[in-house]
Amino acid sequence: MTYENILVAEEEGIAVITFNRPKALNALNSNLLKELSQAVDAVAANSGIRVLVLTGAGEKAFVAGADIKELAGLSALQAKLFAKKGQDVINKLCALPIPVIAAVNGYALGGGTEMALACDFIYASENASMGLPETNLGLIPGFGGTQRLARLIGPNQAKEMIYTGKIIAAAQARELGLVNQVFPAEELMDEVMATARAMVSKGRVSLRAAKEAVNNGLDTDLSTGLKIEQDGFALCMVSEDAQEGTRAFIEKRKAVFKGRLA
């Protein structure tokens, strides 16, 4: 499928979606969100894709935020529908049963930070910066930022970032636990792809079960979370991947996972 606002590539089980509006610093508008939703659906339907990477075109931005020109004229109802559209596609991204990595290669502001928060973890370049500066416009984050940031770094840190609208450098984002790793800009994608390839080599069933266990467990108490883990472990145990993995360990060879779910 041909897109106007994103690029989609696939190689060795890794899909890369690139936000491709570099003249607008990859700002999110309705058309981009629609295309991203379609692309995520295509990834979900492709059993050959084991990992998804999100990044931005150009050297300046991952996503610099929502397109302010589009926001400026919205009524209250239109604004609610725009926020819902953004939340829907981000929720769809979160629900993917495969690992998703954000490769933040520059500005990730507002909707850009919210898009990165939807991924399983974030790698950033040294020149990257992140923040939720919507209060500078008299607004609040609308694509899930008030909820996901607080869950990731704690409510106090999240409130400070949101209330002040401050923008933080990649190094500080790592200190807060918002970013996993920081690399020189020229090394970012190589490091992201190396991590993606390492995950592709694992059992597809186990990665799916691990993601479900972590994500679903976060929204419940420890006792219920442990039961979720038990169920995931048991289902993995009877999978073709687990049978291959345990057999390969006993036979002292490298496992060759097929990744079939049935």
Provide the residue ranges of all domains of the chain, joining segments of one domain with +. 6-200, 204-250
pLDDT for position 156: 97
Strand partners, 129: 107, 169
Whole-prediction pTM? 0.92
For the annotated catalytic residues, the residue numbers are 114, 134
CATH ID of 6-200, from 3.40.50.300, 3.30.460.20, 3.30.499.10, 3.90.226.10:
3.90.226.10
Cα separation, 178 vs 158, in Å, equals 10
Closest CA to 99 of 219, 231, 244, 214: 214
Give Cα 74 to chain centroid, integer Å.
Answer: 27
Q: Render each residue's pLDDT in the chain as its tens digit; 262 residues.
A: 789 999 999 999 999 999 999 999 999 999 999 999 999 999 999 999 999 999 999 989 999 998 888 888 889 999 999 999 999 999 999 999 999 999 999 999 999 999 999 999 999 999 999 999 999 999 999 999 999 999 999 999 999 999 999 999 999 999 999 999 999 999 999 999 999 999 998 888 899 999 999 999 998 999 999 999 999 999 888 888 888 888 888 888 888 887 776 5
Cα separation, 184 vs 172, in Å, equals 15
Report the CATH fold assignment for 204-250. Lyase 2-enoyl-coa Hydratase; Chain  A, domain 2 (1.10.12)
Name the strand (E) or helix (H) holding 168: strand 167-169
Cα separation, 167 vs 149, in Å, equals 14
Cα separation, 145 vs 139, in Å, equals 12
- What CA dihedral angle connects 108, 110, 113 and 118, to 10 degrees? -140
